[in-house]
Amino acid sequence: MPDLITLGPWLRRFLCEYIVTERNLARNTRKSYRDTFSLLLPFVSRKVRKPVDRLAVSDLTSRLTLQFLNHLEEDRGCSVRTRNQRLAAIRAFARFIGSRDPTYVEWCGHIRAIASKKSMPSPVGWLTKAEMETMLVVPDRKTRRGRSEYALLLFLYNTGARVSEATQLKVRDLQIGGDNGKHDLATLHGKGGKTRQCPLWPETVRALADQILGRSADDAVFVSRLGTPFTRFGIYRFIERCTAGVPDLADRKITPHVIRHTTACHLVLAGVDINTIRAWLGHVSISTTNIYAEIDLTLKANAVALCEVGQPSRGRSWKEDKDLMTFLKSL
């Protein structure tokens, strides 16, 4: 079967050349695209009863694509956001083929015409300051392992770091213990290769300094009990263990991203302007950060009080001020 008809060579060029060299997409985005086709190809193979290596471009029809998206939601239990994320990868692949072979322009149009499903944004979960302080007490700081876990949890709360940013943090990314009057900082490597610096609290600096003592610059800051760098899964499990140690949080799902939301909400309550919070969290658009300005009832109550009905009137109208009217007529 010619290479221009078979799906495999197109997919190899898309995953290994196009999104890496031409688009220079972030590593996590590439993994997401890879995972999409790891699920899609076996699904299409079963439907058309062909081996994966013999699938043709024309086998990936819009009808099968819709069936695959329904399979994600109904059989795999994926959310609408995940469904739309997988669809975005398939659309990008269709656009790649259609832009390079005119015979597939019509096929590309059918795939790209599949609409994203509208989803309601989930409410932002976050912890109060008292709840966060209770979680910080859970690690047993009398042990080295407990001090390591305390440093990780405090770092997540201090910086609002994403899980990937915490796992990638190296000793060289910390600027602490300087005597030149500068702030203690952590350099975070975020989405799309972007970096940002976050100031550290003195308590965070003390906890981190204990962790990196005697370590080389290329070592990971946060390591597991086996001495290997923390993984994303490891940090999720760690947060689950901390949550289990707080009875008041037993019925709530607390994740590392909830800690990130908590940092943002506490900055809002402290009166930090929204653009500073955007830079703190590493958001590209301030519209992403605006959700934190809408979630606190205290802020909403203060806003309502400014326009409360039934407040006393300011007094008589300026038109009834005879002295003022006389002055205006004299002009």
Beta bridge partners of 220: 170
User: Between the CA of residue 297 and those of 65, 128, 168, 232, 324, what are the distances in Å?
Assistant: 43, 12, 35, 32, 43
Neighbours of 212 (CB within 10 A): 20
What DSSP line would sit under 230-287, residue for residue?
PPHHHHHHHHHHHHHT-GGGTTS---HHHHHHHHHHHHHHTT--HHHHHHHHT-SSHH
Q: How far apart are CA 136 and CA 246, in angstroms?
A: 10
CA-to-CA distance for 196 and 282, rounded, in angstroms?
Answer: 7
Give me the active site residues, please: 162, 191, 257, 260, 283, 292
Exposure on the CB side of residue 9, measured as CA atoms within 13 A: 6
The one-letter amino acid at 179: D
Contacts of residue 312, defined as CB under 8 A and 6 or more positions apart, other chains included, come to none
